[in-house]
Structure 1
Amino acid sequence: MTHPIEAPARPVGRRREIGLALALNLVFVAGVLFWGWPAGNVLLLFWVENVLMGVGTLVRILTAEVEPQTRRPVFFTLHYGIFCVVHLVFVAVLSFWMGAEFTVGALLVPALLVLVRHAADLVTVWFGAGVRHRTTPMQAFVLPYPRMIVLHVTTILGWGLMLGSLTMPGMEPTGLAAILARLREAFAGLGVEVTSAGLVVVLLVLVKMAFEALTAGRPVQWTIGDQRFTTH
């Protein structure tokens, strides 16, 4: 038997959520295309976003006011933490393959933007609008997983695209490598110099952005044991 738990009403509209997602992801695209960010830095920012979602979720679990006896902060920390560690291993190798630099302008500043984006949502929606007053810890627990999965999928996709972009020395590029070469030429004609890795990262950001825009504010259903949870 299932026991559906209704999703807490979202006091902010989908337009606001979509706007925030688009703005942050477009900053990533602009950073690679126009501001000289190394492609690998964006993947590191994906990991930072993953961690910040986990921290925000832990706060929500600890402060959710419906069924507070069901809090499982230690279990969540271990469970989510394992995903973050695995994600970091793959992201670290891929990001340095693509090119990464630990600079203030290309890593620290955008990381702070990611922090501000998630902190604003926590302060204004969770605490300010009182969503925590009608949310269970389990609803808060499952909230970040769809976006976390997308971040992992983009990492796997990034590995596949980078491997597909390799060309043997002395041979003409074919397949994906040829497509990326033509795209680089097209951007060069517009006065924008971008590497093949940069184009791969732009594609990954667009995939992530599309998912976030399509799912912003929409209910997500999870079944855990004999209970079904619906979250936004």
Structure 2
Amino acid sequence: MPTPASRAEVDGLGAAEIAEQMRAETPAGVDAEKFIGAVVARLPEAADLAPAEKPVSAWVLVAANLLPLCGVLFWNWEVFPLLALFWMENAIIGVLNATRMLAIDPGNAALWAGKLFMVPFFCFHYGMFTTIHGLFVFSMFGKYPVDGLYVLAPAARAVADWNLWLPLGALAASHAFSFFWNFVHRGEYRRAGLQEQMMKPYGRVVVLHLAILLGGAAAMALGSPLWALLALLGVKIAVDLTAHLKEHRS
């Protein structure tokens, strides 16, 4: 017997039509209604079954990355402000991912027990991962003194020294837009799994960390020529866009 999801794909039925079919085939009762409601709530909307298109948030992300490009072309940026900006962006991604974890299926009371453990665990683990990356960025590339694992002070100094407020705000706004557009508006919060969501940032961040650190070291060794900075920024945008489209392709 085909599942409701497969019927939606074959017959082109929406969630309401599937619910009606299930009611017709299931004995009436409170338990049946709860089961039907739970199944229908996790079905993709009809628009989600259409051929995948680039989400609006992808274009917003690319647009936000044009400000770092302006920094390279017009504001005399070197390697360090790019690396510092990208590190801060990773911190923003971590904060928003913790928010996503909290927002998953908020009506599921049993799931909150898992959230009470997994959200703090993610914050600690991702926070340590990001902190270690920050130590490399600020001490090796920025030559800023770092007091132990406290990287917020050199980060604030980098923002002030290189006037990173505008590009940082643009990147933060693009990720916030993605949260509201994809996770809330498009209903990803209804279909996301808690453990799966916890792991999502790591694929992007690990690849990006390696590419940025290695590329940044190479660019600095070459004396931060324009072409090297543009190549570094191009790699970052490509990794960003690929990961974004993969995450929100459904």
Judge same fold: TM > 0.5, yes or no: yes
Matched letter for residue 137 of structure 1: L
What does residue 34 of structure 1 align with?
Answer: 74
What does residue 70 of structure 1 align with?
Answer: 114
What's the secondary structure of 1:36's corresponding residue? coil
Structure scoring higher RCO (CA < 8 A, sep ≥ 6) equals 1
Matching residue within 128, 143, 152 for 2:200: 143
Q: 1:27 to 1:7 in 2, by over 3 A?
A: farther
Separation in 1, partners of 2:238, 2:65: 10
Separation in 2, partners of 1:202, 1:83: 26
Aligned residue-pair number: 187
List gaps (5 residues or longer) in structure 1: 1-5, 167-194, 221-230
What does residue 186 of structure 2 align with?
Answer: 129
List gaps (5 residues or longer) in structure 2: 1-41, 144-156
More helix by share: 2
Determine if contact 1:44/1:91 at 8 Å carries over to the other structure: yes
Matched letter for residue 86 of structure 1: I
What does residue 88 of structure 1 align with?
Answer: 134
Determine if contact 2:69/2:230 at 8 Å carries over to the other structure: yes
What TM-score does the superposition give when structure 2 sets the normalisation length? 0.63
What's the secondary structure of 1:144's corresponding residue? helix
Separation in 1, partners of 2:231, 2:44: 33
Matching residue within 68, 75, 79 for 2:125: 79
Q: CA RMSD in A?
A: 3.3
Q: 1:23 to 1:139 in 2, by over 3 A?
A: same
What does residue 209 of structure 1 align with?
Answer: 237
Q: 1:89 to 1:105 in 2, by over 3 A?
A: closer
Separation in 2, partners of 1:163, 1:108: 23
Asked if residue 119 in structure 1 is aligned to residue 186 in structure 2, the reply is no
Q: Which structure has the larger Rg?
A: 2
Determine if contact 1:90/1:155 at 8 Å carries over to the other structure: no
What TM-score does the superposition give when structure 1 sets the normalisation length? 0.67
Separation in 2, partners of 1:45, 1:204: 13
More strand by share: 1
